[in-house]
């Protein structure tokens, strides 16, 4: 077992006392003028549509059995792929992940490890499809009140989504690209990071590299910190895997930035994230490091909040796995 702590240019501080964490949360809500994330943000002119000499992109779609969701999978295949099987990175929130990349980065990836890049998203132009990912990325049902104060039952589709990846997405990718099954990585941010962890817990052999960025451990009143984790810790039986847990420094200290408390969606979210302490991901990495067979690295990004961690964590993942320049320090700070 291996546990490595890194904190982007500074020593990682000791665990904060609970009183400090609560103070950080109390200080996180003062301003009503801050801009909030736009849940309807659209994307266009991504690397999928651009011409490039380094990668070519292929696309396929899949429908859910109930017809409620349609997934879009974009595969980046190195244009000059060699005969040897290539490593592969599966990325959740495919549209948002595509926005992190540009042509210089693709050129560098192709010149280094030349991984196959798989962007798993939804068949629309939303940067983040919140309703769909809430279903697919969560292994636990959540019954919290919504922004209107009405009890809402959401989530719980992660096991079906794991089946989709294993039985439908991976086989289709392997038809189109020469994959090294011994070098498969899964990256996800926020609820996607939570999905990465539940996949590690229940299918530790599905990937060799698991990257959980800012995982939403507060989901369903902290359910991810309960039985599933405990069963994994007790019954992992030495299955080898490399695990990265990444967190923004502002997240760990409970600094949520300024939030518009006149926005019911924001108020409902702040209420829900109280299901876990802000440093829960760091503490989780310490517990995972005790599991035989796991090589665990915790990386903290100084000053970053939850939103910028999507970009920073994916850039750091590409650098760690495939040797490209680490652009993560250039990610914007709060919120």
| pLDDT tens readout for residues 253-284 | 877 666 666 666 665 666 666 678 999 999 99
Report the pLDDT value the prediction gives residue 6, as an integer from 0 to 100: 63
Q: Is residue 283 part of a domain?
A: yes
For helices 227-235 and 191-202, give the axis angle rounded to 10 degrees. Answer: 40
User: 303 falls in which pLDDT band (50, 70, 90)?
Assistant: very high
Q: Is residue 324 part of a domain?
A: yes
How many domains is the chain built from?
1
**How much of the chain is helix, strand and coil, in % rounded to 5?**
35, 25, 40
User: 238 falls in which pLDDT band (50, 70, 90)?
Assistant: confident
Which pLDDT tens digit goes with each residue over 180-232? Answer: 999 999 999 999 999 999 999 999 999 999 999 999 999 998 999 999 999 99
Count of alpha carbons within 13 angstroms of residue 161, beta-carbon side:
26
Q: Does residue 134 have a pLDDT over 80?
A: yes
Q: Does residue 160 have a pLDDT over 50?
A: yes
Report the pLDDT value the prediction gives residue 95, as an integer from 0 to 100: 97
Q: Are strands 294-301 and 241-248 parallel, antiparallel or unpaired?
A: parallel
Report the pLDDT value the prediction gives residue 254, as an integer from 0 to 100: 79
What SS3 class is residue 244?
strand
Q: Can you give the pTM of this predicted structure?
A: 0.86
| Percentage of residues of the chain with pLDDT beyond 70 | 81
Would you call 190 a catalytic residue per the annotation? yes
- Answer with the residue of higher pLDDT: 61 or 234: 61
In whole angstroms, how far apart are CA 323 and each of 179, 197, 280, 300? Answer: 18, 24, 29, 19
Report the pLDDT value the prediction gives residue 23, as an integer from 0 to 100: 32
Q: Is residue 270 part of a domain?
A: yes
Q: What is the mean pLDDT of residues 90-107?
A: 98
Report the pLDDT value the prediction gives residue 272, as an integer from 0 to 100: 65
Report the pLDDT value the prediction gives residue 18, as an integer from 0 to 100: 32
Catalytic residue among 189, 220, 285, 306: 306
Average pLDDT, the chain: 86
Q: Is residue 335 part of a domain?
A: no
Catalytic residue among 54, 190, 198, 199: 190
Q: Is residue 130 part of a domain?
A: yes
Taking the C-alpha atoms of residue 328 and residue 310, their distance in angstroms, rounded to an integer, is 10
Catalytic residue among 198, 199, 229, 251: 251
- Answer with the residue of higher pLDDT: 179 or 331: 179
| Percentage of residues of the chain with pLDDT beyond 90 | 69
Q: Is residue 250 part of a domain?
A: yes
User: What CATH number does residue 244 fall under?
Assistant: 3.40.50.1820
Q: Is residue 214 part of a domain?
A: yes
Cβ–Cβ < 8 Å for 187, 313: yes
Residue 159 belongs to what domain range?
2-330
Q: Is residue 265 part of a domain?
A: yes
User: 81 falls in which pLDDT band (50, 70, 90)?
Assistant: confident
Q: What is the mean pLDDT of residues 127-155?
A: 87
Full 3-state SS string of 178-225: CEEEEEEEEEEECHHHHHHHHHHHHCCCCCCEEEEECCCCCHHHHHHH
């Amino acid at each position: 077992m291996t546990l490595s702590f890194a904190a982007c240019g500074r020593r990682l501080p000791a665990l904060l006392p609970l009183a400090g964490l609560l103070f950080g949360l109390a200080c996180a809500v003062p301003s009503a003028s801050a801009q909030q994330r736009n849940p309807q943000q659209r994307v266009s002119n991504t690397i999928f549509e651009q011409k490039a000499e380094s990668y070519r992109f292929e696309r396929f779609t899949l429908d859910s059995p109930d017809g409620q969701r349609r997934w879009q999978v974009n595969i980046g295949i190195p244009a000059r792929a060699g005969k040897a099987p290539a490593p592969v990175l599966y990325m959740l929130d495919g549209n948002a992940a595509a926005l992190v990349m540009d042509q210089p980065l693709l050129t560098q990836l192709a010149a280094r490890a030349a991984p196959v890049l798989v962007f798993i998203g939804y068949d629309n132009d939303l940067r983040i499809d919140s309703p769909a990912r809430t279903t697919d990325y969560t292994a636990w049902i959540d019954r919290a009140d919504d922004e209107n104060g009405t009890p809402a039952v959401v989530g719980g589709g992660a096991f079906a989504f794991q089946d989709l990846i294993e039985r439908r997405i991976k086989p289709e990718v392997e038809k189109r690209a020469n994959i090294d099954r011994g070098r498969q990585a899964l990256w996800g941010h926020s609820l996607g990071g939570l999905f990465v962890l539940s996949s590690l817990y229940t299918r530790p052999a599905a990937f060799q590299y698991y990257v959980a960025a800012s995982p939403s451990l507060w989901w369903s009143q902290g359910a991810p910190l309960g039985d599933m984790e405990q069963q994994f810790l007790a019954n992992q039986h030495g299955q080898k895997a490399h695990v990265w847990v990444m967190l923004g420094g502002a997240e760990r200290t409970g600094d949520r930035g300024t939030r518009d408390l006149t926005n019911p969606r924001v108020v409902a979210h702040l209420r829900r994230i109280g299901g876990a302490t802000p440093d829960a991901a760091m503490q989780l990495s310490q517990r995972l490091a005790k599991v035989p067979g796991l090589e665990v690295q915790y990386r903290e990004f100084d000053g970053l909040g939850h939103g910028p961690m999507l970009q920073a964590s994916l850039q750091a993942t590409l650098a760690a796995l495939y040797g490209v320049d680490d652009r993560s320090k250039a990610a914007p700070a709060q919120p």
